[in-house]
Chain A
Amino acid sequence: MIKNFVTLLPVALFALCAAGALEAEELGDTDAGQKVFKKCTGCHQVGSGAVDKIGPHLNGVFGSGAAEHEGYRYSKSMARAGADGLIWTAETLDAYLENPRALVSKTRMSFRGLKKAEDRANVLAYLRTFSDDPSDIPEAEPTAIAIDHDLDPAILALEGDPEYGEYLASECLTCHQSDGTADGIPSITLWEPEDFVIAMHAYKRKIRPHPVMQMLAGRLNDEEIAALAAYFKTLEE
């Protein structure tokens, strides 16, 4: 938990400095974003002539639904997120880039995530130039909304009570199986506590779509989410 706190400290500092500065249409620095995008080019192309490679091309990704791009074979998990109604906006893309598995549990995008909010803002600003934009296409969706989703590091630093977590987890186990079997309902065992906490808060804040999970996460407080994460970690050990 200390480690988590330290790695997220820059995020918090950035959020403090940048609060209010990120407005619609001004996600970040597109030039800096182009450099960050080099981390992505092993799998993704963007711009004129971009085609699907290991990952789908990213033209027009803003405002599109998850797994909507035709011709690309998505993971079951991404297809499910699309069916659940996940739309790629600056907010959801930011959450996805921060921690792909926290938003889409079994995404095939094997990328640990961009932990620096500034990097995410910049790369999204760059990608945004390849999607319809209300500034040049008036009927385009205003997808470049300001980013305000970073979790308070204090939330990630909370030490959960595994005994309380075990009791709370009994509610999860009506649908999810503790041995990690995933059939129609994803596995929630063997998760990193940090991923677990970020995912639950993404549901709680309704960034991550799914009515049952939004409802159940919605009434859990920060300590309860930490308790669940702590319990599911004990399952791992």
Chain B
Amino acid sequence: MTINRRHFLGTSAAAAAALAAPMVKADGHGKPRVVVVGGGAGGATAARYIAKDSKGEIDVTLIEPSRMYYTCFFSNLYLGGFKEIEDIGHSYGTLASGGVNVVHDWAIGVDRDAKTVSLAGGATIAYDKLILSPGIDFVEGAVEGWDISSQNAMPHAYKAGSQSELLKAQLMAMPEGGTFAMVAPPNPYRCPPGPYERVSMVAHFLKNNNPTAKIIVADPKPKFSKMALFQEGWADNYEGMVDWIGADFGGDSVSVDPNAMTVTIDGEVNNVDVCNVIPAMKAGRIAELAGVTDGNWAPVNAIDMSTKADPDVYVLGDSSQQGDMPKSGFSANSQAKVCANAVRGALTGSKVFPAKFSNTCWSLIDTDNGVKVGATYEATDEKIAKVDGFISATGESAELRKATYEESEGWYTGITTDMFG
């Protein structure tokens, strides 16, 4: 640390020159610079930890277009009426006060030779280490008949915020006895239990407000996360309401018509009132623009989340292809801490500790009926590998399910505090 202080003092003239000149590389000149793209569970956590733990020795810039971040986790609980939209919205004020330079703009390009990120607003920012945590984008043409221009008629609500509010409004406006359809995504995708928790929350809402309504789920997969738990929960709490059509029954053959509001499953046309299309996913676009993706995702080294393509570019969370961890906010947050520790070590010589990862995903089935699945992971040469895991059991007591739900609420407060300060 003292070395860096001296280094900083010794090069203050160069740093002053750097401030005056546009597009100067920070590499070897003044304070090391970390640029983080994406202010979600991965990016906000990484930015916060690097700023906090380096105690001002590293310049941290976070690029995030949204002024207000709505967490995807718990957005299903908003659909079910358990949370208000305000409950899942977070601003970046505390991060900024914590020393992170928060820039509300879109990153539209990365020059890995010059080590700069260009922004939609015209600015260019130099980095020594770049951390990309852009979440997901959708694979074009993944669901026949749907594209981004159809997302008002058929919302995905898989990036939380206005889409969540739109889907909720459509759910509330459903005619009595109407049909809610979901087109579920193929693997791998953000939040494996997410679509099925959403089905549960929609069913909960309908049971109380529109009990003769029906839910159809067309799923390209033959099975899904926490399947036994969800199917038990649907049978016990929403009997006869949910019709899940898996790949074995034609759920993998789907097209939609957003104008006619129809969903065709295995050749059979269904008229629907609300249609939630969750298309196949890929890494956030900036990862592709940075040239660190291979196919839909960005392969990374398990030890520190650096990309296989460039040791100075890291990818966290949903966009990364890391091995056994599910794409979840918890995973991204866990990966961010390993990455922050490694990046700080590389830039300031601070101690780097062994990578340890963990994940737990809670899902709500009905009031006070929570379940969870989780695992621990370690870094191997090939990937992030699962070490140990657990899952809630079917037939658990009401007390345990209630405790699990309360635990998930505690976790929500914990992780959002950990992300945003």
**A residues in contact (CB < 8 Å) with B:** 79-80, 82-85, 163-164, 166-168, 170-171, 173-177, 181-185, 211-212, 214-216, 218-219
Determine whether the beta carbon of A184 is less than 8 Å from that of B411: yes
With a CB–CB cut-off of 8 A, which chain B residues contact A182? 410
Question: From residue A225, how far is it (CB to closest CB) to chain B in Å?
Answer: 13
Query: Which of A79, A164, A174 contacts B353, CB < 8 Å?
Result: A164
B259 at the binding interface (Cβ < 8 Å): no
**Complex Cα distance A216/B409, Å?**
19
With a CB–CB cut-off of 8 A, which chain B residues contact A181? 413
Determine whether the beta carbon of B414 is less than 8 Å from that of A174: yes
Instruction: Known contacts A171-B358, A212-B390; decide if A84 and B372 are in contact (CB<8 Å).
Output: no
Determine whether the beta carbon of A211 is less than 8 Å from that of B403: no
Question: From residue B325, how far is it (CB to closest CB) to chain A in Å?
Answer: 13
Determine whether the beta carbon of B356 is less than 8 Å from that of A171: yes
7 nearest A-B residue pairs (beta carbon): A184-B410, A185-B410, A184-B406, A211-B390, A83-B399, A83-B403, A170-B337
Could you write out 6 A-B pairs with CB less than 8 Å apart? Answer: A83-B402, A175-B415, A211-B390, A216-B358, A218-B376, A218-B388
**Complex Cα distance A214/B374, Å?**
11
Determine whether the beta carbon of B376 is less than 8 Å from that of A177: no
Residue of B nearest to A173 (CB): B418
| B interface, size bucket | 35 or more
Q: A174-B411, A215-B388, A219-B376 are in contact. List 7 more A-B contacts (CB 8 A).
A: A164-B351, A168-B353, A177-B413, A184-B406, A184-B413, A218-B376, A218-B388
Instruction: Known contacts A175-B415, A177-B413, A177-B417; decide if A211 and B374 are in contact (CB<8 Å).
Output: yes
With a CB–CB cut-off of 8 A, which chain B residues contact A171? 334, 337, 356, 358
With a CB–CB cut-off of 8 A, which chain B residues contact A185? 407, 410-411, 414
Query: Which of A84, A166, A174, A176 contacts B400, CB < 8 Å?
Result: A84
**Complex Cα distance A199/B328, Å?**
29
Query: Which of B358, B375, B403 contacts A80, CB < 8 Å?
Result: B403
Query: Which of A174, A183, A184, A215 contacts B376, CB < 8 Å?
Result: A215
Determine whether the beta carbon of A183 is less than 8 Å from that of B409: yes
- Taking CB atoms and an 8 Å cut-off, the chain B residues in 367-386 that contact chain A are 372, 374-376, 378
With a CB–CB cut-off of 8 A, which chain A residues contact B49? 170
Determine whether the beta carbon of B418 is less than 8 Å from that of A184: no
Determine whether the beta carbon of A215 is less than 8 Å from that of B399: no
Determine whether the beta carbon of B407 is less than 8 Å from that of A168: no
With a CB–CB cut-off of 8 A, which chain B residues contact A79? 399, 403
Chain A interface mostly:
helix
**Complex Cα distance A215/B410, Å?**
19
Determine whether the beta carbon of A174 is less than 8 Å from that of B407: no
* Residue interface mask B7-41, A partner, CB < 8 A = 1: 00000000000000000000000000000000000
With a CB–CB cut-off of 8 A, which chain B residues contact A163? 351
With a CB–CB cut-off of 8 A, which chain B residues contact A170? 49, 337, 418
Residue of A nearest to B329 (CB): A174
B397 at the binding interface (Cβ < 8 Å): yes
**Complex Cα distance A183/B413, Å?**
8
B330 at the binding interface (Cβ < 8 Å): yes
Instruction: Known contacts A185-B410, A212-B360; decide if A174 and B399 are in contact (CB<8 Å).
Output: no
Instruction: Known contacts A174-B330, A174-B418, A215-B388; decide if A82 and B409 are in contact (CB<8 Å).
Output: no
Determine whether the beta carbon of A82 is less than 8 Å from that of B399: yes
Residue of A nearest to B388 (CB): A215
Residue of A nearest to B402 (CB): A83
**Complex Cα distance A127/B376, Å?**
39
**Complex Cα distance A212/B375, Å?**
8
**Complex Cα distance A80/B399, Å?**
8
B389 at the binding interface (Cβ < 8 Å): yes
Query: Which of B376, B389, B399, B414 contacts A175, CB < 8 Å?
Result: B414
**Complex Cα distance A107/B20, Å?**
61
With a CB–CB cut-off of 8 A, which chain A residues contact B341? 167
Residue of B nearest to A80 (CB): B403
**Complex Cα distance A173/B191, Å?**
21
**Complex Cα distance A81/B368, Å?**
17
Question: From residue B172, how far is it (CB to closest CB) to chain A in Å?
Answer: 28
B306 at the binding interface (Cβ < 8 Å): no
With a CB–CB cut-off of 8 A, which chain A residues contact B417? 173, 177
Determine whether the beta carbon of B403 is less than 8 Å from that of A84: yes
Determine whether the beta carbon of B353 is less than 8 Å from that of A167: yes
**Complex Cα distance A177/B375, Å?**
21
Residue of B nearest to A169 (CB): B337
With a CB–CB cut-off of 8 A, which chain A residues contact B374? 211-212, 215
With a CB–CB cut-off of 8 A, which chain B residues contact A215? 358, 374-376, 388-390
Question: From residue B163, how far is it (CB to closest CB) to chain A in Å?
Answer: 26
Determine whether the beta carbon of B353 is less than 8 Å from that of A175: no
With a CB–CB cut-off of 8 A, which chain A residues contact B53? 166
B387 at the binding interface (Cβ < 8 Å): yes
Instruction: Known contacts A85-B400, A173-B414; decide if A219 and B407 are in contact (CB<8 Å).
Output: no
Determine whether the beta carbon of B410 is less than 8 Å from that of A174: no
Instruction: Known contacts A184-B407, A215-B374, A215-B390; decide if A174 and B356 are in contact (CB<8 Å).
Output: no
Determine whether the beta carbon of B403 is less than 8 Å from that of A174: no
**Complex Cα distance A214/B387, Å?**
13
**Complex Cα distance A224/B277, Å?**
45
With a CB–CB cut-off of 8 A, which chain B residues contact A218? 376, 388
**Complex Cα distance A219/B334, Å?**
16
Question: From residue B254, how far is it (CB to closest CB) to chain A in Å?
Answer: 36
Residue of A nearest to B353 (CB): A167
Residue of B nearest to A185 (CB): B410
**Complex Cα distance A211/B411, Å?**
15
Question: From residue B386, how far is it (CB to closest CB) to chain A in Å?
Answer: 11
